[in-house]
Amino acid sequence: METQEPADPRVVIIGAGFGGLKAAKHLGNKPVRVTVIDRTNYHLFQPLLYQVATAALSPADIAAPIRGILSKYENIEVLLAEVRAVDVEARRVRTAEHEISYDYLIVATGSRHSLFRARRMGKLAPGLKSLEDAIEIRRRILMAFEFAEKTQDPEARTAAMNFVIIGGGPTGVEMAGAIAEIARETLAKDFRHIDPSAARVILVEGGERVLAAYPEDLSASALRQLQELGVEVMTGVRAREPDRGRPRGGWEVHSVPGENLGCAATRRRLSAKR
């Protein structure tokens, strides 16, 4: 009587970011069946998203096909789908079109930005976690200069050339520095009626220093470099939604007690940029 060989265990990996790809490569050509599920068909190098957002790189420069990356591993299949649910009891992953059983599950779905309690902020200013976010931010930055070039209203021109970045973490610091660089260098000679280098770039951080997760000497170095680029850095300052009774909407910057109050102009700019 012939005995049937037991099938290799099946590993399902949800997400093809850094963690998901690392796990898949480690299991490549091993005695397991691997299914990688992602809702896009490309792996995104997120640390360089800010360069796409500031027109320094094209989207293709930081995105690579998942299938191409994993094609040399015969035991790995890639499924383009969005996971809707995981049935832990039945050991099944559910998408809109499939149910995939698993012996082992790796969830590597990454993270998304948090708006904390200011949920309406997302309608006015996108985060920076996807190619779509980066392309939209790039469009807004470039169109702001185009609007400033053609408008005859001095106040509207000034408002259009004010850029406020909320959050002094790595992404916020990189974005602020990159916007300042393109305004003062890349676009400096491209317009006839405006001076792009006159753009005002403001970085707002609610904590005591930028890059708070890093050692203080690195934080201080980042602050100096931002200031050398002309970025105005406001620490101990938070942006919040206005009171519901306010007729125009928009956003306000509020100084934390103990900090200087030099943010009144920024408060007006944020409202104007809504």
List, by residue number, the catalytic residues. 174
Question: Nearest-CA neighbor of 219 among 229, 227, 211, 230?
Answer: 211
* Lookup: tokens for 82: 């969005």
Name the helix (H) or strand (E) containing 162.
Answer: strand 162-166
Determine the 3-state secondary structure of 193 from DSSP: coil
* Lookup: tokens for 26: 């480690």
Determine the 3-state secondary structure of 40 from DSSP: coil
- Give dist(CA 144, CA 67) in Å, integer: 38
- Give dist(CA 19, CA 254) in Å, integer: 38
